[in-house]
Amino acid sequence: MEEPADDLIMSEADQREHKARRSDQHRSEGRENALGHCRLEILLLRLLNNASGQNDQWEKMNDDGGLKKWAAATAKKNAELATTRNEQMNE
């Protein structure tokens, strides 16, 4: 039994919509993972910094906003890598 052509077109449209939603979800998960990695890196830096006794350097970096800039750049880079990986998986 053959399906009408309209059903096939709708099915393809549904597939495209599903793929787009899945891609958006992967992108969102990539951003969340990037932020999580960034937080871990900040905690590691704090631990290393406290262990080495360089609190003045840490405070200066934090006061200048350098830490926030570094964290933002790291999160952006990780999100881009996650997006690229997810796009490759979707192909």
* pLDDT tens per residue across span 5-26: 555 566 887 888 888 888 878 7
Instruction: Please report the pLDDT score of residue 57 as a whole number.
Output: 60
Q: Is the pLDDT of residue 82 over 80?
A: yes
Two structure tokens written together for 42: 């900040």
* pLDDT tens per residue across span 25-75: 877 777 777 777 777 787 777 777 665 555 566 666 666 677 777 777 888
Higher-scoring residue by pLDDT: 4, 11: 11
Instruction: Please report the pLDDT score of residue 1 as a whole number.
Output: 46
Q: Is the pLDDT of residue 81 over 80?
A: yes
Per-domain residue ranges for the chain?
35-51+58-91
Higher-scoring residue by pLDDT: 6, 86: 86
Q: Specify whether the CB–CB gap between 34 and 78 falls below 8 A.
A: yes
Q: State the Cα–Cα distance between residues 80 and 88, nearest whole angstrom.
A: 12
Environment class of 47 (CB within 10 Å of its CB; exposed 0-12, middle 13-18, buried 19+): exposed
